[in-house]
A and B are shown apart, each in its own frame.
Chain A
Amino acid sequence: MPQLQVTVGSASGLHARPASLLVQAAARQTARVTLARPGQTAVDTRSLLSVLALAAKQGEELELTAVGEDADQALAELAALITEDHDAPAAR
């Protein structure tokens, strides 16, 4: 199972807009990708409610795990979305 450590990039954490972008991208993947704080229960990245409920702050380390077809590619794409700062003026 490919895994990846990622750091939350958005200034306000994984809140509505960054989380929505992540969830929309996850829904397009064939692989099933989960997100967790190290050592804690993982949540489905296609579930906006679960991702929001993580309440992950900027700079927090999270763990992405992928299962299935094109797992590595899915991980890379979702990791990029999490580490980017979507609240930076240039990202809007």
Chain B
Amino acid sequence: MSRLLDGIGVGTGSAAGPVARMAPPPALPAPRPVADPAAETAAVRRSVGEVAAELADRAERAGGVAGEVLEAQALMAADPTLLDRVAALIAEGTDGPHAVTAAYAEFRALLTAAGGYLAERAADLDDLRDRTVARLLGLPTPGLPDPGHPYVLVAEDLAPADTALLDPAVVLGLVTVRGGPTSHTAILAKALGLPAVVGCAGAAGLTDGQLVLLHAAEGTVEVDPEPGAVRRAAEREQRRRERERGVSGPGRTADGHPVGLLVNLGALAELDGAAAADAEGVGLFRTEFLFLDRAEAPGQAEQTAAYRRVFEAFTGRKVVVRTLDAGADKPLPFATAADEENPALGVRGLRTATRDPELLETQLAAVAAAARGSAAEVWVMAPMVSVPREAAEFAARVRAHGLPLAGAMVEVPAAALRAGRLAEVCDFLSIGTNDLSQYTFAADRLLAPLAALLDPWQPALLDLVAATAGAGAALGRPVGVCGEAAADPELALVLVGLGVNSLSMAPSCLPAVRAALAAHTLGDCRELAELARTAADAETARTLVRRSMNAELRNA
């Protein structure tokens, strides 16, 4: 008998496969007296041998540079000096797990003291320690599982370090116990194009090897599904892929209304993938990556070089550069005050320019220098604009640098309610739905218990989008959406129906959004928008739109 678990869906696809759980790092039990030091040492040797053998096996299968790294890890796990130290500690009366932990801590301190490249390796030691201790305690191996076949990854939540290693060829889908629609896991799942269900409390009870069928669109996980259900989901998935492959080029509705389809860009490492995407350009170029993890802001020459690389990759296309958005969840030592009690309501985004005008001036000069002689169409916008005067001052600064197109982001309700005044003084508006939700519902984006309030289907949020898009249309200024909302194909239809002109998202989300647009007329989008806006709540809005949309897709 199958049973159904509820969560928050990310993406639109479905995936079926056996569960592989990601185990948390083992918790160290209370120290205990050692009765038989020889046996205790032998147990550690056995565990160490198993960990080293497992890593050596992975190294062989991985090959190449990854194989070399894993091989070095295997050598470290079975290090004879480390084992000698563990044996000595056990002889002094420390139990196995504590002796392993202490010996690793000593080597960690040595490597950290050596600094540089070696200090970076210290994190590898934590992983080895956790693996060894888990073996000793008979607990599952922490970290990403490697059962040797494709699987549905089930985790409490995913850390950025874990997800960096995630291979979309092996991981069929993601299910996490915690996390909301804007969590790290959700953003990653979207970027990789993986169906995911986050915030699924029932997933805590899933075990390795159990068959699950997850439906991202419904936000459900079917446990022990009927073979027929798996087959039907696979067929639907294939039809969906075919439909997506069937459309390409600039975004447009079934009746030819153009909708700009753009990509978000957050680091130079993403540049090649973003440039290769079938998109009209970059709708949101987050420049923060240049400034993160630094004691001082990068100089103009360094910034110019980085921006030039982006503009060259997008020759002939549009690039919307967002100036530095520091503060809140992205504090920077040189731009953020340390004494803010509510950083989300503090001096962040464009507001940092009032404290340090040079920071913005240098950045605009660098963007202008990189734009000169480039064939990309460079637009510049400011984050966290709240009142028309800010938009006017920003636009004046941008134009003083010879950059022709200046815009304001609409991320706070004040900006959305006075979007007309903003649009009068700048050239375009771009709605950041994540922050706009956060400030509309007074709900911290990073707090999982408030995730439901941050649902981009909230009718109040849609009202603010409608107000912004309407004001832009009245003045002939384009209005884009560059938040998570734009990547949801169903919500994308609603946004277009509300009057939004362009949508910016992770490259992997483009095909689904493009296909949804191609299957609906502008009139359909307007009807769906009306349904969503007049719904009582987010859940009803989503359900109503999905029901009407599917009917239309069947007719298409």
Contacts and interface: CB of A to CB of B under 8 A. Distances in A.
Interface string B107-137: 1001100110110010001000000000000
B160 interface: no
Contacts of B69: 16
A17 B117 CA distance: 12
Given A44-B81, A53-B107, A12 B75 contact: no
Interface string A41-68: 0011011111011010000000000000
Interface in B58-107: 68-69, 71-72, 75-76, 79-82, 107
B76 A49 contact: yes
A53 B72 contact: no
Contacts of B80: 44, 46-47
B114 A53 contact: yes
Chain A contact-residue range equals 10 to 19
Contact of B121 (A17, A43, A47, A52): A52
B60 to A, nearest CB: 14
A16 B73 CA distance: 10
Nearest to B128: A49
A47 B83 CA distance: 10
A55 B79 contact: no
Nearest to B114: A55
A47 B111 CA distance: 14
Interface in B128-184: none
Contacts of A23: 75
A53 B110 CA distance: 6
B75 A17 contact: no
Interface in A1-36: 12, 15-17, 19-20, 23-24
Contact of A24 (B75, B76, B111, B115): B75
B108 to A, nearest CB: 9
A46 B76 CA distance: 10
Nearest to B71: A20
B68 A20 contact: yes
B45 to A, nearest CB: 15
Given A53-B118, A55-B118, A48 B107 contact: no
Given A47-B79, A47-B81, A12 B107 contact: no
Most buried by A among B69, B75, B81: B75
Contacts of B75: 20, 23-24, 48
Contact of A49 (B68, B79, B115, B117): B79
Contacts of A16: 68-69, 72, 121
B118 A52 contact: yes
B117 A15 contact: yes
A52 B109 CA distance: 12
Contacts of A15: 117-118
Interface of B: 68-69, 71-72, 75-76, 79-82, 107, 110-111, 114-115, 117-118, 121, 125
Given A43-B81, A52-B111, A55-B115, 14 more contacts: A12-B117, A16-B68, A16-B69, A17-B68, A17-B72, A20-B71, A20-B72, A20-B75, A23-B75, A48-B79, A52-B114, A53-B107, A53-B111, A55-B114
